[in-house]
Amino acid sequence: MDKISKEARSRNMAAIKHKDTEPELVIRRGLHALGLRYRIHKKNLPGKPDLYFAKYKTAVFIHGCFWHQHKDCSNAVMPKTNRDFWMNKLNGNVNRDQSNISKLSNSGIKVVVVWECTIVEHMRAKKIDNLIEGIHQILIEKGNGVYEF
């Protein structure tokens, strides 16, 4: 049983941002500072990537560990209440992510997935520049594929 009312839970969930999150902004600012230019949430690409670098034909997704169920991550815990709803919702997200990544990759677009926990760990350790540089190196490499941070 939930500890707050259905209306309060609905308000809480509606307030969760899905664009311009802090992890997304950190990565955007870092890559922009390196002189890289990109489009955000490109609507004509599968999954509307958080960042799209046309010059490098690369899509970058910045995934929240809970919403995208980061495997073996402590932030990807299944809620105890309303389990059927959450299992369907979160598994649907994971399946849609896999489908979108496959579509992008099959069309010759390189895909980079950066997990929220990785960004937070690098920020805590004051090594966010290392993560940004790692993403930058993947961007400038020739070829395609799927990369995760």
Q: Where would I find the beta strands (DSSP E) of the chain? A: 39-40, 51-53, 58-63, 110-115, 146-148
The answer to the question of residue 4 being in a domain is no
What's the pLDDT score for residue 82?
Answer: 85
The answer to the question of residue 6 being in a domain is no
The answer to the question of residue 8 being in a domain is no
CATH number at residue 72: 3.40.960.10
Between CA 77 and CA 31 the distance in angstroms is 30
Q: Which bin fits 96, alpha (ψ -120 to 50), beta or left (φ > 0)?
A: alpha
What's the pLDDT score for residue 3?
Answer: 73
The answer to the question of residue 124 being in a domain is yes
- Determine which of 4-8, 11-15, 62-66, 96-100 has the lowest per-residue pLDDT on average: 11-15
The answer to the question of residue 99 being in a domain is yes
- Report whether pLDDT(79) > 90: no
Q: Which domain holds residue 27?
A: 18-148
Express each pLDDT in 24-68 by its tens digit. 999 999 999 999 999 999 999 999 999 999 999 999 999 999 999
The answer to the question of residue 90 being in a domain is yes
The answer to the question of residue 2 being in a domain is no
Predicted TM-score of the model (pTM):
0.84
% of the chain residues with pLDDT over 90: 74
What's the pLDDT score for residue 81?
Answer: 83
Split into its structural domains, the chain has a count of: 1
In sequence order, what are the beta bridge partners of 115? Answer: 63
